[in-house]
Amino acid sequence: MAQPQQKKLFEPLIIRKKVLKNRIFSTGHMAVMLNDGCPTDSMVAYHEAKAKGGAALTIIEAARVHPSGDSGRPAIRAYDPSCIAGYKKLTTACHGYDCLVFGQLTHPGREMADLEDGTSPVAYAPSAIPNERFHVMPRELSEPIIHEIVMGFRVSAQNLKAAKLDGIEIVASHGYLLGQFLNKNVNKRKDKYGGNFENRYRILDEIIDAVKLGSSSDMLIGVRLSGDEKEFRGIELQETIKIVEKLNKNEKIDYINITAGTSAGLTGSTHIVPSMRFEPGYTLPLAKAIKGATNKPIFVAGRINTPHIAEEALISEAADMCGMTRAIISDPQMPQKAESGRLDEITACVGCNQACIGHMLNGQPISCIQSPETGRELTFSKLKLATKKRKILIIGGGPAGMKAATVAASRGHRVKLIEASSMLGGQINLAERLPGRSEFGGITTNLANKLQRQNVEITLNTEVSADFVMQEAPEVVILATGGKSFEPLIDGRENAHVVTAWQILEGKANVGSRVAIADWRCDWVGLGLAELLARQGCHVRLACNGMVPGQTVNQYVRDNWLGKLHKLNVQTFTHLRLHGIDSEDAYFQHTLSGEPVILNDVDTLVTAFGAGSVNTLEKELKNNFNSNLHVIGDALSPRTVEEAILDGLKASTLI
């Protein structure tokens, strides 16, 4: 039974004749699991895991309704009947767990990426107004093509009807084509589709009619809107309320789904998948304001990452359904665990955006750094118990070692984990100390809870030698000894004040008032250090080795951070290679021109060069254990938490 504090979350919601068994749904999002514009078995398994875990509804990603909306970014072509079989297979799988399935229909308009052959497409929009994010100059849509697109929505709805989906969501959010028509700053047309509000709204009205005609009478129809696009010349809340008031009068619409942001600019796009730098549930005030303008059910999404926040949203009457997409990606069983009161068993999303939207932006299937099984269901969702229970020694209590221990123990092995320091977590314990990164520490908490439930034997404050290992006499050894701060050779170091990023985060270094950060990694460490030191009152110059600070971090995390640094007056430099240092100045070389760049008046140089492997035991143990010795995480090769946890999963499935 659900705990009292989660009671509202598990009340059914009835919309016409459709019953949503609880108030948790997965919003439409691109999973990059397609073959020639059609859902694959991987996508079926991905959504089936959500259904099996207890979600009431999963909305399948934005599908294209017309060839003019196709781009190089993989998307379902809903206008092509070849998509029906994949949709139907997915729907059948989810229906087996009493989970409804809706499909999203959209056209990106001017928000177009390159085509598969690398060329730029002809991007269509209401008017020839360029966007700021992709620097696309669109072609104004003619009325005949507008009519084709409207018909494309109808044809696509017919295909979704044939696939037995339960509903259709029309995407008018995030600055895509319908949002462009609704935006007076983007729609400058002089015909019946532009000018006053009624004309700008006209295409949405026509599309609602088309979708209704193409769908079956029992299919639900919803519209997704950005409550506030939060972008220069974007749609603001009061304008959205006006749209909602219009939708409220349309009996063909069954619900309205509220989010935030737009694809049109770098600021607005960070709200499409808001990172941990945004407050949990920060979109709820938008939803509540909009709910006051309609009697239709309101769905909402945006950093609703725990059952507690979702429950608050429902009790406060901000919404009727809560989109918890990344929370379900992080733990597909989250709804079931919450309903049965097993809240401490939930692998809570930390909003890092690394393997979900980060993968998608790179054109790769999405996953989760904490739960690499997500997106790899066909490989890892049904791990079998070990045929032979073995004694396993895991050396290192960072994310790689912790993941390996939890999975190995779950398969029935006897697992002992030894950590040299006084606490588990490894480098996560440093990462969480940076501004806006405290939530990252939840990874350690989540893994530690699993270790406890699996009764893994844990020993802290213990250095492990080869002799120690031989005395333990394990059958399998997993080396997860991690890394240590990499310190480059720097000319003049002996005459200057040089500290590492790790020393600052460990509280082992003082810095002067004028700081230069040599950021070779171009990741969140350099960004975070710059913010940390600037907030402490230092004059900060961030010199990165790449094209932009945070180059290796996905744009939804990086761009928000760069905005913060600009407000803090942090000076940023790109394409710089650290060359040397003296008592007053730091010397760099421009990586493209080869010319020297000197940063004057530097009190402290901070190096952010990542980690080097700690793996001396590998050579000492290799002859004794051969194939029963596994090296994972940074001990194998310094990378990120994502690869460390994936290494731990893979190693523990081989035993």
Q: What contacts 569, CB < 8 A, 6 or more positions away?
A: 534
Evaluate whether 93 touches 47 at the Cβ level (below 8 Å).
Answer: yes
- Across 16-43, b (16+ Cβ under 10 Å) vs e yields eebebbbbbbbbbbbbbbbeebbbbebb
Q: What contacts 368, CB < 8 A, 6 or more positions away?
A: 326, 329, 330, 349, 355, 356, 374, 375
Give me the amino acid identity at 264: A
3-state secondary structure 578-626: EEEECCCCEEEEECCCCCEEEECCCCEEEEECCEEECCHHHHHHHHHHH
Residue 238 DSSP SS3: helix
> In the block, which residue shows the tokens 């069983």?
333
Q: Where are the alpha helices (DSSP H) in 9-54?
A: 41-52
Q: Which two tokens stand for residue 639?
A: 């990378």
Q: Which two tokens stand for residue 536?
A: 């402490």
Burial (CB count within 10 angstroms: exposed 0-12, middle 13-18, buried 19+), residue 365: buried
Residues facing 171 on adjacent strands: 224
Whether residue 46 lies in the annotated active site: no
Pairing mode, strands 586-590 and 596-599 = antiparallel
Question: Residue 241's CB: how many other CB atoms inside 10 A?
Answer: 18
Number of residues assigned to the chain: 655
> In the block, which residue shows the tokens 């079998």?
384
Question: Residue 592 and residue 577: Cα distance in Å, rounded?
Answer: 10
Residue 60: in which H helix or E strand, if any?
strand 57-64
Burial (CB count within 10 angstroms: exposed 0-12, middle 13-18, buried 19+), residue 99: buried
Q: Which two tokens stand for residue 609?
A: 């060069």
Question: Residue 178 and residue 62: Cα distance in Å, rounded?
Answer: 13
Could you list the beta-strand ranges (E) of 350-485: 391-395, 414-418, 457-459, 476-479, 483-485
Pairing mode, strands 255-259 and 220-226 = parallel
Note the maximum CA span of the chain.
Answer: 84
Q: What contacts 178, CB < 8 A, 6 or more positions away?
A: 106, 107, 109, 170, 171, 172, 203, 204, 207
Q: Which among 79, 124, 176, 587 is annotated as catalytic?
A: 176
Q: Catalytic site residues?
A: 176
